[in-house]
Amino acid sequence: MTLNANSIEQLAMWCLKTDAIAGVRETAHRDFFGLDEPGEMHYLGEAGSPIIMERRFLGWFTLTFKLPDGRHPAELAASAILIGSELNSLIDLINNSRYVLGIITMVTPGRGLILKLEDEEFSIQSRQLSRLLNRDDGLYAHIIPDGRRGCFVGPGWMQWPMNITPSIELQLKKYQLNPIDVERMLQQRSNYRESRTDIEPPHFDI
């Protein structure tokens, strides 16, 4: 299996639909959205769309969540599809995936973009993102190395809905959140209830 946008989606769909981890997936779903936590949810704009919400969950569950045996569901999916050295290579790439907030420094229309996180740069291969996002936009995404010099994005990426100032850009690693904290912020619960009416609606993975 060559790692590309289609194969990442194939792994994610296996994680979403397989009966082998249905019980774990259901519990993880409740935990991700905090369905048993107190307080009402007041999602920001399209962040509350059921399709978009499920994409964010799928990215987290596939690439960040860990099963009782310590593996990510994406590893289990890869093991169900591949064998041998190809499997080992793909698992290495999965284990080197990261969830990051970066700032876009360059866009190549129809091909991809460059995402910067302080002293790190990631060459993202994505026609979709290159058509939706612009230079200086913030992007939260699971990024998966392609085994060469580039990366792909996993399900559930989102344009960061707030302006990243030059001072924040210089210390952006201090502002990294995990996917569940991002979800609570979008829900505007407890400490994340601050209303923002001065921002453009962000783009989300659909």
| Number of domains making up the chain | 1
Query: Exposed (0-12), middle (13-18) or buried (19+): which is 157, by Cβ within 10 Å?
Result: buried
Q: Is 100 contained in some domain? A: yes
> Is residue 202 situated within a structural domain?
no
Domain-located, residue 145:
yes
User: 67 lies in which domain range?
Assistant: 5-192
**64-83: pLDDT as tens digits:** 999 999 999 999 999 998 76
How far is it, in rounded angstroms, from Cα 177 to Cα 154? 16
Write out pLDDT tens, residues 144-197: 998 888 999 999 999 988 888 899 999 999 989 999 999 999 998 754 444 443
Euclidean distance between CA atoms 74 and 66, whole angstroms? 10
Whether residue 140 lies inside any domain: the answer is yes
**Residue 201 maps to a domain:** no
pTM for the model: 0.89
Distance, in Å, from the CA atom of 169 to the CA atom of 57, rounded to the nearest integer, reads: 27
206 domain residue, yes or no: no
Q: Mind listing the pLDDT tens digit for each residue in 81-107? A: 876 678 888 899 999 999 999 999 999
Q: What is the CATH number of the domain that holds 188?
A: 2.40.50.110
Q: Is residue 63 situated within a structural domain?
A: yes
